[in-house]
Amino acid sequence: MSRIGKKIIEMPAGVTASIDGQQVSVKGPKGELSAVLVDEVLAELGDDGINVGPRVDSKRGRAMWGMSRTVVANLVQGVSEGFTRTLEINGVGYRAAAQGKELQLNLGFSHDVVYKVPDDVDVQTPKPTEIVVSGIDKQKVGQVASEIRRYRKPEPYKGKGVKYSDEYIFRKEGKKK
């Protein structure tokens, strides 16, 4: 039995949902999102929220139960609150600047890296060494943050590079004489 899957997804004020077969659509103050659930899972709209359960008691149905519930819960949270991911830049001379729908990164290369931000994701730089990625789709926010981090991953000796704000870099000791 899925412990996560058993929980009913509560609908905040101002959020409406509709279920058409396997298509779940959620509309809220920040926008509209939809997802298609796998055939082994059944979603039902009730008075207290959305309930997700396995259609038949099969191994795949039980495996997809909790994941499908989490996907629908992320839709509800995205249209009501949104998602943010914060990146930190460490290194001498490393900095970032958001210019419209482009992010310009100085990461120690001989040239500046220019990252084109997708339309439904917002990137801000409150400080030159901090990048805040926000949007309503959790997957896209995480993908954009991952692509920015990939330009210069943090290295273990000095910790230079782009890292998530909640990430711990395991530091190594350098060579000894």
| pLDDT higher than 90, residue 153 | yes
| pLDDT higher than 70, residue 68 | yes
Mean pLDDT of the residues in the chain: 92
CATH class label, 83-164: alpha beta
Question: Cα separation of 100 and 123, whole Å?
Answer: 9
**DSSP assignments along 38-95, one per residue:** -TTEEEEE-SS-EEEEESS--HHHHHHHHHHHHHHHHHHHHHHT-EEEEEEEESTT-E
H-run or E-run covering 98: strand 95-99
List, for residues 79-97, the tens digit of each pLDDT value: 999 999 999 999 999 999 9
Domain coordinates in residue numbering, the chain: 3-80, 83-164
**pLDDT reported for residue 1:** 61
CATH class label, 3-80: alpha beta
List, for residues 126-148, the tens digit of each pLDDT value: 999 999 999 999 999 999 999 99
Single pTM value for the model:
0.88
